A and B are shown apart, each in its own frame.
Chain A
Amino acid sequence: MERIYLDNSATTAVVPEVAKKMAETMEKTWGNPSSVHTIGQEAKQMLDQARSEVADFFGAKPEEIIFTSGGSESDNLAIRGVVESRTWNVERGLPHIITSATEHHAVLHTIEDLEKADLIEAAYIKPDKDGYISPESIEKEIKDNTILVSIIYVNNETGAVVPIKEIGAMIEKQNTEYRIQNTEKILFHTDAVQAIEFMPADVNELGVDLLTFTAHKIHGPKGVGGLYVKKGVKLAQQITGGSQEFNFRAGTENIAGVVGLVEALKLVRQYSSSEQSESRSSDSSRSANRRTRTIKSVEKLRDKLILGIQNNVFDTILNAGGAKRAPHIANISFMNAEGEAIILNLDFLGIAVSSGSACTSRSLEPSHVLSAMGIPPEKTHGAIRFSLSRYTTEKEIDKVIEVLPPIIEKLRKMSPMKNLHV
């Protein structure tokens, strides 16, 4: 059966070029970079080379790139690393972290955990009804003891984009103009896991101190990612042990994984990076045009999908519809049809999507992201997330538009509710 994969926000297919490069590395460069002999040093060279290339992608210096096992670890390193990096001045109260109620669980649960352990105070900013978080809403929460702001760049469930650059500028202003002397600077972390493929990712332009990224959302392997750590920012080791990764993260380096990550980033640059990073690339204008075309073409297909669904199914809601959204995600609620049932029916036809419904979560809670946006349970009940990739074709989108309406109709016929409208 032909498979149509529209769950790229969950994970992406590893492309052949990446897999090939990784296999090559595992076969030829398997040494431990900490070893003094040639086999080790060849591995170290490869690691250093990879680090430079990743740094270049982000506009950072090589020593500012720390490799980890992925997004969750990077989020933990950033947040716990900052909190545990020193003893905070208890007179001013516990250190204070500002984050949003729509963060990925790796950030949310980590902060909640620290709060429960009485190590920090935390503020969880609610977005507006479209999932947008304004710099002003964050600024309002800043106190004397605020040490960290952590806000997700592109929301993994709705695709809503947060104005990272503006938030960075606001925090910079707070740090330079309003902070009294001897007060710590506020650090700014963003989980950019969903953003790397299609959004600007230059750390200087974004104005961040810490940035989380991972390989498996950009057609690279699972199990490898990283954290950008601005020079001067101190983090307490979370994986303790040896002194690898400039003492930020112990453990023999995952060279093959890192090579896979680099290869994936190369392809992102080639195909999808935004217009802003075009100027940094040494590619010809022809491939620059191909990059812009790809972001726009993914957006076009995503919008075609939304329109096709809304034209053929009544009582649907495009969640975060009023916000700026990344080009590849569409989160649509279908009234009077349940999310998991929709997923399974699509799966029978070879189409893969995911849902924010309570039935699909292990905790039986509806999506915390949609709930934080004020969307009530009867609307999250039938919420489906479609997430495209740069490889999604128009033919695939047309197929989904064709087969989805009858599925919704069938499920609605099965339902006893006659009055669930938008």
Chain B
Amino acid sequence: MNPRNLGEIENADAEAEVGNMRCGDVMKIYLKVGTRNGEQGKSEKYIEDIKFQTLGCAAAIAASSMMTELVKGKTIEDALKVSRDDINEELGILPKQKYHCSILSADAIKKAIEDYQKKSNR
């Protein structure tokens, strides 16, 4: 049980908390968004750092950890594309009743990016 990217980010650029009513698991993620020069020298926003906290079963913890590994370093656009199936595949296919844990972590990153976009449009 060694999840990556565990913890909080102080003064995070975005935060999101998602809960799964089915089994009571709760996931919270923190984003640090950075700017860098991407392809063709265009400036792009990307996930500079990401941390998570989870109250849940092993599959929930694994799914959140895997999600953070998958989105870290990606542009905001690419991070939004990470789907529950991607997470599921990287984990090696969760058993059917644990599938909702990957949905939870996919929802978390989308919600966090929404939060970021709301904050940056102010």
Residues of chain A at the chain B interface (Cβ within 8 Å): 336-341, 344-345, 348, 357-360, 362-364, 366, 377-378, 381, 411, 414-417, 420
* A359-B54 in contact given A344-B1, A414-B6, A416-B27 (Cβ < 8 Å): no
Provide the residues of chain A in CB contact with B60, threshold 8 Å. 338, 359
Find out whether the CB atom of B24 lies under 8 angstroms from the CB atom of A414: no
Find out whether the CB atom of A345 lies under 8 angstroms from the CB atom of B1: yes
- Smallest CB separation, B101 vs chain A (Å): 9
* A417-B26 in contact given A337-B55, A338-B56, A341-B61 (Cβ < 8 Å): yes
* A338-B25 in contact given A348-B1, A416-B17 (Cβ < 8 Å): yes
Find out whether the CB atom of B27 lies under 8 angstroms from the CB atom of A414: no
- Smallest CB separation, B54 vs chain A (Å): 6
Question: Which of A336, A359, A360, A420 is close to B25, meaning CB atoms less than 8 Å apart?
Answer: A359
Does more than half of chain B's interface fall in helix, strand or loop, or is it mixed? mixed
Cα A12 to Cα B44 with chains together (Å): 60
Q: List 16 A-B contacts (CB under 8 A).
A: A337-B55, A338-B25, A338-B56, A340-B57, A341-B56, A345-B1, A359-B59, A360-B57, A364-B23, A366-B24, A414-B3, A414-B53, A415-B26, A415-B54, A415-B55, A420-B55
The verdict on B58 contacting chain A, using a C-beta distance below 8 Å, is: yes
Q: A337-B55, A341-B58, A358-B23 are in contact. List 6 more A-B contacts (CB 8 A).
A: A339-B57, A357-B24, A359-B57, A359-B59, A414-B3, A416-B17
* A416-B55 in contact given A341-B61, A348-B1, A359-B60 (Cβ < 8 Å): yes
Cα A371 to Cα B108 with chains together (Å): 29
- Smallest CB separation, A313 vs chain B (Å): 16
Shortest Cβ-Cβ A-B pairs, 8 listed: A416-B28, A359-B57, A340-B57, A415-B55, A416-B53, A358-B23, A381-B24, A359-B23
Which residue, of B54, B55, B59, B60, has the highest number of chain A Cβ atoms within 10 A? B55
Find out whether the CB atom of A340 lies under 8 angstroms from the CB atom of B27: no
Find out whether the CB atom of B22 lies under 8 angstroms from the CB atom of A344: no
Find out whether the CB atom of A358 lies under 8 angstroms from the CB atom of B22: yes
The verdict on B37 contacting chain A, using a C-beta distance below 8 Å, is: no
Cα A280 to Cα B61 with chains together (Å): 55
Find out whether the CB atom of B57 lies under 8 angstroms from the CB atom of A415: no
Question: Which of A336, A337, A362, A378 is close to B97, meaning CB atoms less than 8 Å apart?
Answer: A362
Cα A285 to Cα B103 with chains together (Å): 63
